[in-house]
Amino acid sequence: MSTLKIGTVHPLPLKLVRRLLESVDSVLVLEELEPFVEMQVKALIADMGKSIRVIGKTDGTLSRVGEYDNEIVAAALAKLVARPLDRSTLPWKRRGLKRKRLRRVGACLSAQGARIEVLIRL
């Protein structure tokens, strides 16, 4: 898994996102509020003439309201890799810890395919 941190989503660093999209079959977009980045990613995929599954708010995987916590993100990642999520195996569950609200997430892309990439805005 790779991580790329960006300082802003407008303008979106298209070259970096395009490079990620060139080698994947699916992408997960995590972002707060409206699906601004997700819509830009979908438009970029269309411009590239590719067929990449986009998981996020527009497909109903993630809610447009509320905050993300570690379990919500784990469930979304499980959908990305097409595996059922066994919540009892999550590290914080095994240690008896509670769900934890994540630090502010600006935008995050995770992609499944030839490799997994993550794009995070902090």
Domain locations along the chain: 2-121
Please give the angle made by the CA atoms of 10, 15 and 16, to the nearest 5 degrees. Answer: 85
pLDDT for 62: 93
31 confidence band (pLDDT: 50, 70, 90) = confident
Cα 69 to Cα 88: distance, rounded to the nearest angstrom: 16
Average pLDDT score over residue span 77-89: 80
pLDDT at 110 over 80: no
pLDDT for 120: 38
pLDDT at 42 over 50: yes
pLDDT at 43 over 70: yes
Are 2 and 118 spatial neighbours (Cβ–Cβ below 8 Å)?
Answer: yes
